[in-house]
Structures are given as structure tokens and as C-alpha cells.
């Protein structure tokens, strides 16, 4: 096993591969973002177009829809690699599965979480979010969507071997998203109310760190089982 490639090489190669795949499937990447917008349109239509009504709902609604959009995009995280057998090759390669998983999740975040974060100020305008809320909204989504991608990857890995895993994936991952949602929206809301938000960001950062360390372990374990079966 002396001819195993060095890790830096694997890292850059798999990163490049993920980027190319994401770029060639632009439609799939765009779908969650379009979904994000569509649902936000439903809020004024379904509740009320008045700014006074929308403003208190804005932080929570934007966060919930970002969460749903992430959930929607998770199914494709390992699916095509599993179907064409490249996932099996990755497991057999003898390389650290941890790094490969981190890479995949990172690119997933770059193509869903980051665009969602970038879009959120526009949705804030449409939802008449108060001015103090924008910076906390963007930064809490920035940290929070990382957590969502990492935790969601566990669900994606657990259901990858199932033909219709999409709905099941949402069902098993939703309860695990509760803390992220609570602290994400709390950060925006207390910023609007004029309180300090450092506590909420500290907790979001702590959750991100914990997820970064622990989630890939669970993902690797789940992927091994899925490939075996």
C-alpha cells in the first residue's frame, strides 16, 4: 500500500471533482435557491402583505425556508456517487474517508448554504426586515447553514441506499435541526430588539465546531454500511 497518494493531492483532486460536478449540474444547484424564493412569495400571499405583519415574521420565516431548502438539496449529496459506484471506489481507495466527506459537505455548502446566505438580504427586503436585522441574519445563516449541511449529511448518508429516501431523510433530520434554528433566529431577533447577540453566535460557533468534528464520523460510518448493503 505504498503507492497511496498523499492527502493534499487527494484533497485537491476531490475538491476539483466536486466543483466540476456541481458546475455541470447547474440546474440541480439552482433548484433549492428557486424554492427558497418561491416559498417566501407564499408568505405575504398567505398571511398578509403589510410590512407591520411581515416584519416580526421575517427572521423566522427566512430561517425556516433556508432550512427547508437545505433539506431539499441534501438528497443529491451522495446519491449519484452511490449510483455510479464512485462512492465505493472512494471507500476502497484507502484514503481518509473523513477528508472526502468534509470535502463533499464543503462543496455542498458552497453551492447551497452560501448562495442562500447571499440571497437572504434580498428576501429580508421583501419581508420588510428591520435594518438592524440584516447583518445578524447574514452572519447567523453563514454559520448556521454550515451546521445544516454537516448534520444533514448524516441523514443523506443513512438513506443513500434507499430508492425513495428524500422524505425519510427530512423526517429523520428535522429534530436534529431544532437547536440550530432556535439559535439562528434568536440571534436575529435579539439584534432587532437591541440586545447583544454575541452569546447566540458563540453557541452557533460551538455547534458548528462540534458538528465539524463529529458529523463526518457518523457520515463515514453510515456510508460504509450503505455501500456494504
- What's the grid cell of residue 136? 445578524
CA dihedral 93, 98, 103, 109 (to 10 degrees): 140
Q: Which residue number, 110 or 161, has a Cβ lying nearer to other proteins?
A: 161
**Measured at the alpha carbon of residue 26, what is the angle toward residues 161 and 67, in degrees to the nearest 5?**
65
User: Helix, strand or coil for residue 218?
Assistant: helix
Nearer to other proteins, 10 or 158 (CB): 158
Tell me how far, at minimum, the Cβ of 180 lies from other proteins, in Å: 9
Report, in Å, the least distance between residue 229 CB and other proteins.
4
For other proteins, the closer CB: 20 or 202: 202
Q: How far is the CB of 155 from other proteins (least distance, A)?
A: 8
Q: Which is nearer to other proteins, 6 or 194 (CB)?
A: 194
Q: Give the nearer residue to other proteins in terms of CB position, either 36 or 183.
A: 183
Exposure string for 6-25, b = 16+ CB within 10 A, e = fewer: eeeebbeebbeebeebbeee
Q: Which is nearer to other proteins, 40 or 147 (CB)?
A: 147
Report yes or no: 63 and 193 within 8 Å, Cβ to Cβ: no
Using a 10 angstrom Cβ sphere, with 0-12 exposed, 13-18 middle and 19 or more buried, the burial of residue 68 is middle
Site residues for other proteins per CB under 8 A = 154, 158-159, 161-162, 165, 168, 171-172, 174-176, 178-179, 182-183, 186, 190, 203, 207, 214, 218, 221-222, 225-226, 228-229
Q: How far is the CB of 3 from other proteins (least distance, A)?
A: 32
- Provide the minimum distance between the beta carbon of 8 and other proteins in the complex, in angstroms, as a whole number: 30
Closest CA to 160 of 95, 81, 213, 92: 81
Check residue 4 and give left, alpha or beta (phi > 0: left; psi -120 to 50: alpha): beta
Give me the least distance between CB of 199 and other proteins, in Å please.
9
Length of the chain in terms of residues written: 229
Residue with C-alpha cell 447574514? 138
Amino acid at each position: 500500500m505504498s503507492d497511496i497518494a498523499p492527502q493534499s493531492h487527494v484533497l485537491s483532486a476531490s475538491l476539483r471533482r466536486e466543483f466540476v460536478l456541481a458546475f455541470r449540474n447547474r440546474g440541480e444547484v439552482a433548484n433549492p435557491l428557486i424554492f427558497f424564493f418561491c416559498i417566501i412569495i407564499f408568505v405575504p400571499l398567505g398571511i398578509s402583505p403589510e410590512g407591520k405583519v411581515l416584519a416580526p415574521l421575517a427572521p423566522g420565516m427566512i430561517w425556516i425556508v433556508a432550512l427547508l431548502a437545505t433539506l431539499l438539496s441534501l438528497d443529491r449529496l451522495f446519491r449519484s456517487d452511490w449510483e455510479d459506484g464512485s462512492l465505493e471506489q472512494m471507500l476502497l481507495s484507502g484514503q481518509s474517508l473523513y477528508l472526502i466527506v468534509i470535502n463533499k459537505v464543503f462543496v455542498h455548502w458552497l453551492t447551497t448554504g452560501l448562495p442562500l446566505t447571499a440571497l437572504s438580504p434580498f428576501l429580508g427586503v421583501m419581508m420588510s426586515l428591520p435594518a438592524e436585522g440584516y447583518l445578524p441574519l447574514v452572519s447567523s445563516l453563514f454559520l448556521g447553514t454550515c451546521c445544516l449541511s454537516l448534520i444533514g449529511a448524516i441523514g443523506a448518508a443513512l438513506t443513500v441506499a434507499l430508492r425513495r429516501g428524500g422524505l425519510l431523510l427530512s423526517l429523520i433530520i428535522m429534530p436534529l435541526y431544532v437547536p440550530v434554528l432556535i439559535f439562528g433566529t434568536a440571534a436575529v431577533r435579539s439584534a432587532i430588539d437591541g440586545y447583544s447577540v454575541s452569546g447566540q453566535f458563540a453557541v452557533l460557533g460551538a455547534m458548528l465546531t462540534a458538528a465539524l468534528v463529529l458529523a463526518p464520523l457518523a457520515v463515514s460510518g453510515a456510508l460504509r454500511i450503505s455501500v456494504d448493503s
